[in-house]
Amino acid sequence: MSGGRVVEYVDVDLVRRTKTGDVEAFEQLFNRYQKRVYNIVYGMIGNENDAAELAQDVFVRVFDSIATLRAEEAFFTWVRTVAINVCRDHVRRRVPFRVESLDEKMSYDGEDIIREIADPAVGPERLSEQKETERAVHRAIDSLSGEHRTVVVLHHLEGMDVQDIAKALGCPTGTVKSRLARAREELRRKLAGYVES
């Protein structure tokens, strides 16, 4: 039996128990997928406070509507769609200009809010090399426009293919591919010091 099948089997059991109102079963589903959900939401929204709030909304909505899920073996695919839709609704409602932090300079490129993250005061000598690289990657992803960050997270972190991303975001596959290329160009530039050629 493949790993994927085991995951599906466990999910199906937990989903069925959750449908009967079993909160402990739902907690197990939450533990299995909270990191992926949080990263999708963070990637699409780009700030911690909203991401935490929206990740909650995703799980509450999943709990409330789990009775409508027929394809129980595709639980996470369904959760991911819920997460993407919650974020898209949020982005549609969002006021474009908003000050989030005094440390972060905000700019607007006509479509997206671009966050210019200040470099941390703590230098590499005080952080392990691993941690520093991780922070650099996070900063580089944060600095992308919302549209570019979204496709990077869905494709590179979530492993979604271009067609599925296009479908989920309601845009042509060519747009997704072009955003991925531009985002990769930008990330490469920003992470040049961390990438071994």
What residues make contact with other proteins under the rule CB under 8 A? 23, 26-27, 30-31, 34-35, 37-39, 42, 48, 52, 55-57, 59-61, 63-65, 68, 133-134, 137-138, 140-141, 152-153, 156-157, 177-178, 180-182, 184-185, 187-188, 191-192, 194-197
Q: Which residue has the tokens 């990740």?
A: 55
Please, what is the minimum distance in Å from the beta carbon of residue 17 to other proteins?
14
Nearer to other proteins, 96 or 181 (CB): 181
DSSP string, 72-119: GGGHHHHHHHHHHHHHHHHHHHS-S-----TTSEEEE-SSSEEEEPPP
Please, what is the minimum distance in Å from the beta carbon of residue 185 to other proteins?
4
Contact call for residues 87 and 50 (beta carbons, < 8 A) = no
Nearer to other proteins, 88 or 177 (CB): 177
Contacts of 35 (CB under 8 A, 6+ apart): none
Please, what is the minimum distance in Å from the beta carbon of residue 1 to other proteins?
26
Contact call for residues 148 and 115 (beta carbons, < 8 A) = no
Contacts of 112 (CB under 8 A, 6+ apart): 145, 146, 147
Contact call for residues 141 and 153 (beta carbons, < 8 A) = yes
Nearer to other proteins, 27 or 109 (CB): 27
Please, what is the minimum distance in Å from the beta carbon of residue 128 to other proteins?
13
Residue 80: how many other CB atoms lie within 10 Å = 21
End-to-end C-alpha distance for the chain, whole angstroms:
39
Contact call for residues 140 and 190 (beta carbons, < 8 A) = yes
Please, what is the minimum distance in Å from the beta carbon of residue 23 to other proteins?
7
Nearer to other proteins, 96 or 124 (CB): 124
Please, what is the minimum distance in Å from the beta carbon of residue 164 to other proteins?
15
Nearer to other proteins, 108 or 122 (CB): 122
Nearer to other proteins, 38 or 78 (CB): 38
